Amino acid sequence: MDAPRVDSEVGALRTVVLHRPGPELERLTPRNADRLLFDGIPWVERAQVEHDAFADLLRAHGVRVLLLGDVLVEALASPAAREAGIADAVDERALGRELGEAVRAELRGFDDAELAAALIGGRAFAELGVTGSSLVRAMSAPHDFAVDPLPNLMFTRDSSIRVGPRVVASSMGMPARRREASLVALAQRHHPELGVVAPTAPRDPLSVYSSDPAVEGGDVLLLAPGVLAVGVGERTSPAGAESFARAMFADGLAHTVLAVPIAQRRATMHLDTVATMVDTDTMVIYPGVLDGLEAWTVRPDGPDHLDIRGPEPFRPAAARAMGIDELRAVDTGVESVAAEREQWDDGNNTLALAPGRVVAYERNTTTNARLGAAGIEVLTIAGFELGSGRGGPRCLSCPWERAPVE
């Protein structure tokens, strides 16, 4: 059987990985929300209702939805996966060696479902049975975390990146999200059906590798087969973009990478917060950056050498790399206050189900109306609670298979 592939942002979506938010969101408090990258305290049950509606909409359009929580439990049937997950979750630098070992021992006693819940939802000291002499334990409040929760796991876009048949485990820029990438990679690698093989041989048709300098999936757009745009800003560093580009070139997965500088701000944490593909030749781009967006065009030039040119305006550079006359941008209202409000609420963060058909948050009425006027079919979901972590339909989904675009 051929490996599933993703070669574009818009080819008909066949399979997608989502994560239904759960108890990990109940960990958020006003005291820790900033550190855990949330702007509000979500109502968890409502977030689940919204997420279920999103998954149902995708299923109604013929998309197979894989839920990360289920995938993880199945993967944890492997003893090696259990041990790797536990090793990753227990930070000896925070707990010390003795307490770390005690927490590991307790986690080893959990069944697969309990362990998955602990790896995702974290564990407070009060919820663990570990006793014994530990200064860390003695000096910690009962609700302090012995194992950190992963409330951003539902933003599956960021923690792994599928390009062609390859799955790249991201190297997360934010400390609060570092463990997500290894947990997701573990779930994928050990899952009997997803069956992604070991990370060792980079030229295997299917493999997972992570590039050490930071690169997060929300920054990576597959503009066209062989053409990637990589946002460089708060999450992805220039070194991350470069090592990602080199890996893509070495494995023949891209011929051009456009490095796109974006402001290092919360509102523009990833490239996909300001621009996403809505059709083979059309993007929705936040008007506040539309004219200023630039790109460095990076191409391979011999085995180790890179040909780097720029910076120049993004759209013509992208069009040239994609081999089209023009990369259209949907006009969502030049510099209007509505555009700024809706950018904050992920109005530009659409998920394409097929060329010209996207999922968007219903609240972004101005942006959605402009998309409709430009001939794009917009399917909407509620995102009042889901959006409190700042992420829209694209962030909430990791495409696992898309049909080729014509």
Ligand X SMILES: NC(=[NH2+])NCCC[C@H](N)C(=O)O
Rounded least distance, CB 270 to ligand X, Å: 4
Residue found under tokens 């860390």: 136
Q: Dig out the tokens for 192 from the structure.
A: 């009997």
> Under 8 Å CB-to-CB from 380, ≥6 apart: which residues?
359, 360, 361, 362, 368
For position 395 contacting ligand X by CB under 6 A, the verdict is yes
| CA nearest to 279, candidates 6, 10, 63, 8 | 10
For position 27 contacting ligand X by CB under 6 A, the verdict is no
For position 350 contacting ligand X by CB under 6 A, the verdict is no
Taking the least distance from each CB to ligand X, the nearer of 25 and 95 is: 25
> Under 8 Å CB-to-CB from 111, ≥6 apart: which residues?
none
Q: What x-and-dash track marks residues 36-75 binding ligand X by CB under 6 A?
A: -x--------------------------------------
For position 329 contacting ligand X by CB under 6 A, the verdict is no
According to DSSP, the residues that pair with 313 across neighbouring strands are: 294
For position 289 contacting ligand X by CB under 6 A, the verdict is no
User: According to CB under 6 A, which one of 5, 191, 270, 402 is a site residue for ligand X?
Assistant: 270
For position 391 contacting ligand X by CB under 6 A, the verdict is yes
Rounded least distance, CB 383 to ligand X, Å: 12
Active site residues: 395
Rounded least distance, CB 155 to ligand X, Å: 4
Residue 82, classed as helix, strand or coil, is helix
Q: What backbone phi and psi angles, to 5 degrees, belong to 59? A: -60, -40
Taking the least distance from each CB to ligand X, the nearer of 85 and 389 is: 389
Taking the least distance from each CB to ligand X, the nearer of 290 and 395 is: 395
Residue 30, classed as helix, strand or coil, is coil
CA atoms 299, 301, 302, 303: torsion sign: negative
- Could you tell me how many residues of this chain bind ligand X (CB under 6 A)? 16
Whole-number CA gyration radius for the chain? 21
For position 152 contacting ligand X by CB under 6 A, the verdict is yes
Q: Dig out the tokens for 326 from the structure.
A: 């023009």
Residue found under tokens 């599956």: 156
Q: What x-and-dash track marks residues 221-260 binding ligand X by CB under 6 A?
A: ----------------------------------------
User: According to CB under 6 A, which one of 106, 242, 272, 279 is a site residue for ligand X?
Assistant: 272
DSSP string covering 37-65: T-SS---HHHHHHHHHHHHHHHHHTT-EE
Q: Dig out the tokens for 377 from the structure.
A: 């079919």
Residue found under tokens 């399979």: 15
For position 180 contacting ligand X by CB under 6 A, the verdict is no
Rounded least distance, CB 78 to ligand X, Å: 29
> Under 8 Å CB-to-CB from 113, ≥6 apart: which residues?
73
What length is written for the chain? 406
Which residue sits closest to ligand X, CB atoms considered?
A: 218
Taking the least distance from each CB to ligand X, the nearer of 273 and 332 is: 273
C-alpha 168/C-alpha 232 separation (Å) is 17
Stretch that binds ligand X, among 113-121, 132-140, 154-162, 278-286 (CB under 6 A): 154-162
Residue ranges in 77-136 that form contacts with ligand X under rule CB under 6 A: none
Taking the least distance from each CB to ligand X, the nearer of 243 and 273 is: 273
For position 390 contacting ligand X by CB under 6 A, the verdict is yes
Applying CB under 6 A, the residues found at the interface with ligand X are: 37, 152, 155, 157-158, 174, 177, 218, 269-270, 272-273, 389-391, 395
